[in-house]
Amino acid sequence: MSKVAVALTFVALNYYVYQFWATEEVIPDRALFAEFPLQLGDWTCTERQTMKRNQLKILGATDYLLCNFGRESDSSLINVYVGYHSSQVRKEGGGGNETVIHPPEHCLPGSGWNIIDSNVVQVDHPGLPEGMGVLGSRREAKRFVIAKGKARQLVYFWYQSQGRVFARNNQVILSRMWDRARRGRTDGSLVRFTVPIQRGDVEAAEERYRSLAEQLVPLLPRYIPE
């Protein structure tokens, strides 16, 4: 089957699901990120950031955590973003009305960062939900090294939705369609860690990421409904 035929089949199936199969959308209850703890072991949120209204409108998130975490033994800060979207039904006109999750690889070049290394890797943090089930059982994240001038950063991110975690953009689309048909839900989230790479030491950045992720990830299911 040609790529065009596959694309047309997917569009037709997607239209059928959204228009005829699951017309009532379910919005689950959840805790708000305003309640998220700022002290996680030896890590402390030193700056809980707030996005401007126009940024939030473009992003389309219902609720979010945006915070710089640091620890006494470390001079660098890790930026954590968790954006929760209660609905990802595409709105007519798109643009400022869009509510679907924006893949970071689409946004980074626009902010001046170049992706110099990109991989999909397995992750196994305590408390991390299962993989994609019928679409694959491995728990995966995308791992980037990005550059702007002489600055380098390590980025890990994944999509976490309804008790599952996955990294690939095609899985995001398929799971959203499947969950809308099966449960009447399109909610989901993006989880992202951004770690400065100091003096070219990528392994030290990896250690900092793992240390914070092990403290933070187990708390997420309260804010990202299963």
Task: Return the HEC string of the chain.
Answer: CCHHHHHHHHHHHHHHHHHHHCCCCCCCCCCCHHHCCCEECCEEEEEECCCCHHHHHHHCCCEEEEEEEEECCEEEEEEEEEEEECCCCCCCCCHHHCCCCCCHHHHCHHHCCEEEEEEEEECCCCCCCECCHHHCCCCEEEEEEEEECCEEEEEEEEEEECCEEECCHHHHHHHHHHHHHHHCCCCEEEEEEEEECCCCCHHHHHHHHHHHHHHHHHHHHHCCCC
- Ranking 145-159, 162-176, 206-220 by mean pLDDT, the lowest is 162-176
**pLDDT tens profile 53-105:** 888 888 889 999 999 999 998 888 999 999 999 888 765 444 444 688 888 88
Instruction: Count how many Cα atoms sit within 13 Å of the Cα of residue 49 in the half-sphere of its side chain.
Output: 14
Q: pLDDT confidence of 10, banded at 50, 70, 90?
A: very low
Interior/surface letters 165-192, b for 16+ CB within 10 angstroms, e for the rest: bbbbeebbebbbbbbbbeeebbbbbbbb
Distance CA 188, CA 78 (A): 23
Smallest Cα–Cα separation from 61: which of 167, 155, 192? 192
Q: What Rg do the C-alpha atoms of the chain give, in angstroms?
A: 18
Q: What's this model's pTM, rounded to 2 decimal places?
A: 0.83
Pairing of strands 151-161, 140-148: antiparallel
Residue corresponding to tokens 């996680």: 40
pLDDT above 80: residue 48: yes
